[in-house]
Amino acid sequence: MDEPDRVTRARERAAEAKAHELEAHRRAEELHEEAAVTLERLGRRDLAQAARGRAQRARELYAEALREQDEALRRQDEADERATGHDGG
């Protein structure tokens, strides 16, 4: 496998890992929100509030991961432009 193929494969693996991370944050948010609803029904408002706090943290982590993904894609584009000598447009 030559160097461009290795770089391409590494980028693909990184993109897959980031997609899994994003999905995990979304799923965590959903589960914490579901837990909050259940806890509210059980009269455990204190625990429901804590679950909502964890859901909020999952939303924050999701947003952070999106920013990281955008930055990584921007850096990839810049590296590609330097490697090819043009801006791809």
Interval 33-85: pLDDT, tens: 999 999 999 999 999 999 999 999 999 999 999 999 999 999 988 888 888 88
pLDDT surpasses 80 at 29:
yes
Query: Across residues 6-21, what is the average pLDDT?
Result: 92
- pLDDT band per the 50, 70, 90 thresholds, residue 13: very high
What's the maximum distance between 2 C-alpha atoms anywhere in the chain?
A: 63
What's the Cα-to-Cα distance from 68 to each of 18, 47, 72, 75, rounded to whole Å? 9, 31, 6, 11
pLDDT at 71: 94
Given CA atoms 73, 79, 83, 86 in this order, what sign does their dihedral have? positive
pLDDT at 84: 81
